[in-house]
Structure 1
Amino acid sequence: MKNKTILMLAAGVMAWAMAGASFAYDGTKCKAPGDCWEPKPGYPDKIAGSQYDPKHDPAELNKQQESIKAMEARNKKRWEHLSQTGKFVYKVEDIK
């Protein structure tokens, strides 16, 4: 009986400690309840990209679009060859 009481008391203390830990920080600039992240003092509000950032390079931005255009051109050649001959050729270089 004594062990059961000690076990119940220990469980109660742990539950109280965990509840206290989750509500310990209330934040000073909360966007929403529980969303109270703050940057370190002196951290800039917005970080500007550098000239080497690929998000600002037009060539990097257009790489995927160019590869899609090339893929569509290859598929068009394959389809035309298939329509004319009835044979599918994967390598576009082999199409005469």
Structure 2
Amino acid sequence: MPGEPSYTFRSKFVDPDFRNDPKTKVFCFVCQKDIRTAVPFMGHAVFGCIEVVHPEDRAVADRELAPADNVGLLPVGRDCAKRIGLEWFVRPEKEEAK
């Protein structure tokens, strides 16, 4: 569509469910359920947390997106990561090693 921005990074709609009310500060950005153990996955959320950027394209998204559209890395629960596809997420320890 003319006038719509064109991005070169891969992203995927995550079908978020914002009906839950998290009770802690650590919760899955997709389903809003609390994560009570160690954070299993991190996802680069964009466009108001409705899409996730592929880990290999994070630098491209950082360059191309306006700050208001680029939410950054957020925790994701194991069930949501599996449902969306594990290839779209990173393990927190892998991110810290960079």
Q: Per chain length, whose mean CA-contact separation is higher, i.e. which structure has more relative contact order (CA < 8 Å, sep 6+)?
A: 2
Larger radius of gyration: 1
Tell me which protein shows more strand as a share of its residues: 2
User: TM-score normalised to the size of structure 2?
Assistant: 0.15
Which structure is higher in helix share? 1
TM-score by length of structure 1 reads 0.15
